[in-house]
Amino acid sequence: MRELAPYAVSAANSRGRRHPDGEPSQHSHRSEFQRDRDRIVHSTAFRRLEYKTQVFVNHEGDLFRTRLTHSLEVAQIARGTARALQLDEDLAEAISLAHDLGHTPFGHAGQEALNECMRGHGGFEHNLQSLRTVDLLEERYAAFDGLNLCFETREGIVKHCSLDNARHLGELGERFLNRTQPSLEAQICNLADEIAYNNHDVDDGLRAGLITIEQLEDVRLFARHVADVRRVHVGLGGRRLIHETIRRLINTLVCDLIETTASNLARHGPRTLAEARLGPPLVAFSAESFEEQKQLKRFLRTQLYQHYQVLRMASKARRIVGDLFAAFAGEPRLLPPQYQVAGDGDQLRRVADYIAGMTDRYAIKEHRRLFAVGEG
C-alpha cells in the first residue's frame, strides 16, 4: 500500500460512518474510501448525472459536457493531484464523484429558480442537496437511509455553507462555525472542480460556436498556450488546435496547484491531519495562476454565460422549474406517492427533492405532461 503523508486522511484518523456497517474483515480488499466511491458510482443519483447539464441543455447536442462527464474529469484531476502530494486519492475521487449529486436539471439556472421557489422555506443549495442525497434520499440498504458514507467524504461534499445552515449540520457544520479547514483531499477537490469547469466550458463554448479563439486570445492564460501550440505545430487548426491548447492549460494549472501546495505544506509544516485543519487553506494556486484564472472566469461570464442563446435557454429553464414547483406545491397529489408527505411533514422540501432529482429531459417531459393539452 502506498505510504501517505502524516497529514493525509487515513483509516487510522477517519471519523468513520454514522451507522455500524459490517466488520472491516468483510471488506479487507477495499479501503473505506474505495467503498464510498463504489457506493456513489452505483447510486441512482450518479446515473442521473448523465442527463444533467453544465451550460448546454441535454437535448442541444451529444458532445457537450454533462454533470457526469464533468464529475469524472474532476475525479481524474483530483486523484492525480492527491497522489502527487501523498494524500488519499480514493477519498479525493469519492468526493469528486459525489460533489454534484444534488444539482438540479438545467445547471445553475435550475438551481437559482429552485432556490427562489424555496425562499422562506430554507432555500435550496446544491451542496447541501448533495449531502441530503447521500445521507437520506438514496434507498439502497436495509439498515439505514442514504449511502452511509464516511465523515470525510460527506465533509468534502459540502463545499460552501452559510452559518445558518451550518448550525443544523452537527459535526459537519463545525468547520464553518469555527473557521477551520476541511481535509486537504477536500481542498483538492474544490480546486480540481474549478480547473475542470473553466477549461471545459471553454471547449464547449468553442464547439457550440458561441465564443471564438480570436476572442480568447485576449485572455492571458489561453493566449500563452495557444501561441505555444502554434509555434510547435505550425499550421495546426480546428479541433486539434483547441484540444492541444486546453490540455496544456489543464496541465499547467495542475502542476501549479501541486507545486504551490507542496510549498505551502513545507512552509507551514503540519505534522497531523488536525494541524492541517487548524491552519489556513494549504491547497492553492500561485498568485499568478489565481489572477489568470480570474481573468478567464470574467471572460466566460460575459462572453459565454451571458450569451443571448445561453440566456434564452436559462430563461426557459427557470420557467419550467418554477411551473413545476407551483403545480406540485399547490397540489401535492400530482407528485409520485413517495414524494407525498402525510401530516405535518415538510411537503415543500419533498417537492424540491423531486425537482432537483430530475434530469433535463425528464423535467421537460414532466412539464409537458402537466401543461400541454393532449399529453398524459
End-to-end Cα spacing for the chain:
56
Rg of the Cα atoms in the chain: 22
Tell me how far CA of residue 192 lies from CA of 70, 318, 374, in angstroms. Answer: 11, 28, 46
Q: Which band of pLDDT confidence, cut at 50, 70 and 90, is reported for residue 62? A: very low
Q: Average pLDDT, stretch 370-374?
A: 83
What tens digit of pLDDT does each residue of 239-254 get?
A: 999 999 999 999 999 9
pLDDT above 60 (res 238) = yes
- Distance in angstroms (rounded) separating the CA atoms of residues 220 and 229: 14
The residues, ordered by sequence, that sit 6+ positions from 272 with a Cβ below 8 Å of its Cβ are 6, 7, 13
CA nearest 9: which of 37, 32, 39? 32
pLDDT above 80 (res 210) = yes
- Distance in angstroms (rounded) separating the CA atoms of residues 155 and 172: 6
**Does the reported pTM lie above 0.85?**
yes
pLDDT above 50 (res 59) = no
Q: Among residues of the chain, what percentage have pLDDT more than 90?
A: 84
Q: Average pLDDT, stretch 199-214?
A: 93
What tens digit of pLDDT does each residue of 23-51 get?
A: 555 556 889 999 999 999 999 999 999 99
> 171 is written with which cell numbers?
459535526
Ordered by where they begin, the domains of the chain are 31-268+280-311 (1.10.3210.10)
What tens digit of pLDDT does each residue of 262-304 get?
A: 999 999 999 999 999 998 999 999 999 999 999 999 999 999 9
Average pLDDT, the chain: 92
- Distance in angstroms (rounded) separating the CA atoms of residues 235 and 19: 60
pLDDT above 90 (res 328) = yes
pLDDT above 50 (res 93) = yes
